[in-house]
Structure 1
Amino acid sequence: MVTFRFYLVSLVAFFLALAVGVVLGSALDGRISASLKDRLERVESNLDSTVDLIDQKNDQISSLEKYSDASIPFAVEGRLAGTATLIVAQSGVNADQLADVVAAVRQAGSSTPGVLWVDKSWDPNSREFIARVEKSFGKTKETLTRENVESYIWDGVLTELGAILPSSDDTTATTAPTTSIGETTIVEPDPNATPPTTDVPVSTILAPSTWWEQPLLKQLAENSVLRLQTIGQGSSDEVSGPLNVIAVIGSESDVESRNSDISSLGREAVRVGLATLIGEANPVGDESSAKDSVLKSLLDEIDSESLSTVQSIEEPAGRVATVVALQRAAEGQFGRFGRGSLAASLLPAPPAPDDGS
């Protein structure tokens, strides 16, 4: 009897507790559910507002980028008028980014046929590479080794384009009429010719539209030392000024010898007094501008302050900085520009205002 009563009381207590729990749970569940639903609606509303704000900011950024691109011609117009620009880039750098740089240079009034690419097989430590260079030159004035082959290439290229006057042992540089007899060129003086004045510089630079047709460049291309890319139509071939040199590097480069190709070009261009700039392009879609290791190590190899650099050269501001920096380099002013940890400023400082004195 005691056992039956115990079980009966326990059973009643269990169902009573269950009933009380159901009643209380129903009451609390409604409040909790309503509270959670209200919070969820607030979160969704805030999320929608945030997404709308992000879309607005993206639209603003897109508009600013379009404005920056459209403003480039007005910012660079005439800054490099009458000059020619040799644009060299390492294999692997994005070609579309280089096309934008070419466009900016042309908008500034400089003439260039396109891009001279360093082939990915460029390797001064390779005997096979040196043999291809020797084959391109046909006959070299000195024995080529890994120590001198790169400077020999760039010296030959710059000489062929007219940036370096050939020595008297090679040929005679003149603007007078000539008569060719075999391999000998005889200068025919013109008694009625007016001697050039110092006010009108006489350029020795070849018409850029003919660059890729020059024998040495064609041989270097045929032997996979360099690659020649024509981009669109170049600007005027009427070159009255000196040659500018732009060399573009990037972390995406697949050249065997990552730095020596461009560092040797930089040294050679600076040696002969050309306005020289080295630009660094970021990989497409990479918003980071902290990747300065490629440029920094290259500058250590060149060890010269007589050239300018531009990081993030692919950006609108980088392209404007490139043109202005080249203009200043021709005046003997150099600096570190662009967007990156090596850059001292985004753009070169504007010239001091003329006080009228």
Structure 2
Amino acid sequence: MISLRYHVISIAAVFLALAVGVVLGSTTLSRTLLSGLSAENGDLGSQVSTLEQQRNALNARLGDAESYATATGPSVVRGALDERTVAIVTTADASPVDRDALKGLVAASGATVTAELRLTEAFTDQARADELREVVTRLLPTGVQLPTVSDPGTLAGGLLGPLLLISKTDNQPQVSDAESAAALTGLTEGGFVEAQPDLRPAQLAIVLTGGEATGDAAGDRAATVARFAAQVDRSGAGAVLAGTTEGSADGAGPVGVVRADTAATSILSTVDNVDTPAGRVVAVLALGEQLADKAGRYGIAGNAQAAAPGAPTE
């Protein structure tokens, strides 16, 4: 006869068997899983090592290319701007290293830098846009007409363009020395610009900007610089807006803003990699192209048309 004790022992044996089976099964599964993860980790480690080697090789090649561009740059631009004059305008985020390297190449091209002007952070501060408009209107020299627009970048370009560039038609200053000094003093006292004391207007201009393309009101700041550069271009024989790879991604930064505006990009040349030796060479060559009433979008960004003037277009 089957007793209650037998039933209890039988049920306990069944549960014990299930527990042993679960333990054995999970142990086998864990070992299989761990083995698979270990193999996958090894594969990923191998891929990371390969990618690091490829990155190091590409960095080495890039370093060689930049060294070559640095060494040959002065020879490439020699004579491109012979006996020309150039004004250099920098934004608050422009690199002094890029500025000094550009000045060296401008000199190597045969040109002379006669004017240097720095736009301060206040120049693109949207909270001070109304103040900038008022200052520009109040300081307008005799005979200079401002564009019939309201954005501060274009208006400031309408004032500073004739101060920085000589007339395209007769190669003469567009503003008297006294009026030019008064306007620059007013803008300086307002905190919008910093100008060298012996500024003399030039034939061509480079507007050098940096990599700031994000943050609060970045789009408005970029638009102010872009419209300023376009208006400066209209004031004389030509101008180039040069930005960095970081700040010139498609649609970003002043270069991106100009390239999205067909009216601006038809007259103003842009370079998106001025933070590289090759990009600086291209900026100088693009200035020479401006003398022939040509404009282009140069560099390595997706919205560039070619690497340099004369290179195959995309």
TM-score, length basis structure 2: 0.68
Q: What does 1:281-296 correspond to in 2, within 5 Å? A: 281-283=244-246, 288-291=249-252, 293-296=256-259
Which amino acid is 2:229 matched to? I
Is residue 153 from structure 1 mapped to residue 160 from structure 2 by the alignment? yes
Displacement of 1:104 in angstroms is 4.8
Distance 1:38 1:335, change over 3 A: same
- Alignment partners' CA distance in 2, 1:17 and 1:116: 90
Spell out, residue by residue over 1:305-354, the C-alpha distance to the aligned partner (whole angstroms, 9 max, x if none). Answer: 34422234334443332233233333554322212343212223359xxx
Q: Aligned to 1:268, which of 235, 252, 256?
A: 235
RMSD of aligned C-alpha atoms? 4.2
Alpha carbons 2:222, 2:257 under 8 Å: kept:
no
Which amino acid is 1:244 matched to? L
- Alignment partners' CA distance in 1, 2:294 and 2:166: 25
Spell out, residue by residue over 1:52-79, the C-alpha distance to the aligned partner (whole angstroms, 9 max, x if none). Answer: 1232233223323322321223443241
Q: Which residue of 2 aligns with 1:224?
A: 191
Spell out, residue by residue over 1:151-184, the C-alpha distance to the aligned partner (whole angstroms, 9 max, x if none). Answer: 3432123249xx94148x969xxxxxxxxxxxxx
Alpha carbons 2:117, 2:195 under 8 Å: kept:
yes
Distance 1:164 1:340, change over 3 A: same
Is residue 278 from structure 1 mapped to residue 267 from structure 2 by the alignment? no
What percentage of aligned pairs have identical amino acids? Answer: 15
Q: What does 1:108-127 correspond to in 2, within 5 Å? A: 108=109, 110-112=111-113, 116-122=117-123, 123=129, 126=132
Alpha carbons 1:263, 1:299 under 8 Å: kept:
no
Displacement of 1:42 in angstroms is 0.9
Q: Which residue of 1 aligns with 2:152?
A: none
Spell out, residue by residue over 1:106-151, the C-alpha distance to the aligned partner (whole angstroms, 9 max, x if none). Answer: 56554448852223444577554136635xxxxx324876747643
Q: Aligned to 1:318, which of 279, 282, 299?
A: 279
Which amino acid is 1:246 matched to? I
- Alignment partners' CA distance in 2, 1:256 and 1:278: 13
Is residue 68 from structure 1 mapped to residue 68 from structure 2 by the alignment? no
Is residue 11 from structure 1 mapped to residue 17 from structure 2 by the alignment? no
Which amino acid is 2:15 matched to? L
What are the ranges of 5 or more consecutive residues in structure 1 without an aligned counterpart?
A: 135-139, 172-213, 231-241, 352-357
Distance 1:166 1:48, change over 3 A: closer
Alpha carbons 2:73, 2:277 under 8 Å: kept:
no
**Bigger CA radius of gyration:** 1
Q: Which residue of 1 aligns with 2:172?
A: 165
Spell out, residue by residue over 1:203-257, the C-alpha distance to the aligned partner (whole angstroms, 9 max, x if none). Answer: xxxxxxxxxxx95686353553422479xxxxxxxxxxx8432123564584894
- Count matched residues: 280
Q: Which residue of 2 aligns with 1:246?
A: 206
Q: Which residue of 1 aligns with 2:29?
A: 32
SS of residue paired to 1:85: strand
Distance 1:114 1:58, change over 3 A: farther
Spell out, residue by residue over 1:268-303, the C-alpha distance to the aligned partner (whole angstroms, 9 max, x if none). Answer: 12xxx34x322343546x8x4453651235553x4x
What are the ranges of 5 or more consecutive residues in structure 2 without an aligned counterpart?
A: 124-128, 149-154
Q: Aligned to 1:43, which of 37, 40, 45?
A: 40
Alpha carbons 1:117, 1:226 under 8 Å: kept:
yes
Distance 1:35 1:116, change over 3 A: same
Q: Which residue of 1 aligns with 2:89?
A: 88
Alpha carbons 1:290, 1:341 under 8 Å: kept:
no
Alpha carbons 1:76, 1:104 under 8 Å: kept:
yes
SS of residue paired to 1:77: helix
Bigger helix fraction: 2
Which amino acid is 1:347 matched to? A
Distance 1:343 1:131, change over 3 A: closer
Displacement of 1:35 in angstroms is 1.6
Distance 1:143 1:66, change over 3 A: closer
SS of residue paired to 2:307: coil
- Alignment partners' CA distance in 2, 1:116 and 1:267: 18
Query: More relative contact order in 1 or in 2 (CA 8 Å, sep 6+)?
Result: 1
Displacement of 1:102 in angstroms is 4.2
- Alignment partners' CA distance in 1, 2:115 and 2:57: 33
